[in-house]
Amino acid sequence: MKKIIYSLTLISSLAFAQNVKVTSNYGSENQDIQDLINFENIFFDKLNFQSENLKGKTYKIALEEFKKGKLVKTSVLFDGSEADIFKIDKDKLSLKFAFKLSDGKLKTFVIGKTISGQGFYSKKFYSKLHNEEDDYALKNFLGSKEDISLDINKKNAIFAIITPTIHEDGTGSYCEVAQSDIAPEKLGEKFKIPHYFLVSIKFN
């Protein structure tokens, strides 16, 4: 019996070790700059990933577009496997994400650092919006939590660019969607959102 308990404990510990802790630093500490960012429909978020299991891995960031609850397009925003300089050499990884909603388009941009500490920028990616740009909002999946855990062995959604779910009385809510327990790829179907985007990361 003791051997069984020990084995289960060991398996549980190994499973936990595969988790990546994620924290967020949203927006700007300068309130005037943040006000301007809000006015221009710009969303800026820095995600910090931490785990011993990150060392030696690469990562791919993708933008997924959903219409009427169905995945219709996947675009690669950044693929770190293209060169060894993008491999993670520490137990921490910080990435900055910039999104802008204007002129009927979503512009997406990723900023990070190479092994040598030099900054790099992804290409700017443009996606057509099907609603007014003011209808969309960016939400990460931390909500009110200080941090969350991601499974390093799976693709994980880290942002949703969504329109609100509309209630019968005409009111709408963004947080109700992003902070639900519904799988990100099922948000459109559950909350009757006709068009939205997910940004995902996969470690390899």
Residue 63 located in a structural domain: yes
Residue 10 resides in a domain: no
* Residue ranges making up the domain that contains 69: 20-203
Length of the chain: 204
Q: Please give the tally of structural domains in the chain.
A: 1
The pTM of this model reads: 0.82
Find out whether 50 and 166 touch, Cβ atoms under 8 Å: no
Quote the pLDDT of residue 88: 92
Q: Which among 179, 195, 160, 156 is positioned nearest to 51, based on CA atoms?
A: 156
| 159 located within any domain | yes
Instruction: List, for residues 53-81, the tens digit of each pLDDT value.
Output: 999 999 999 999 999 889 999 999 999 88
Rounded to whole angstroms, the Cα distance separating 77 from 60 reads 8
Q: How far apart are CA 42 and CA 28, in angstroms?
A: 11
Task: pLDDT band for 16, please (50, 70, 90 cuts).
Answer: very low
Mean pLDDT value of segment 115-139: 87
The whole-number average pLDDT for the span 5-21 is 53
Is the pLDDT confidence value at 6 over 50?
A: no
Report the pLDDT value the prediction gives residue 68, as an integer from 0 to 100.
87
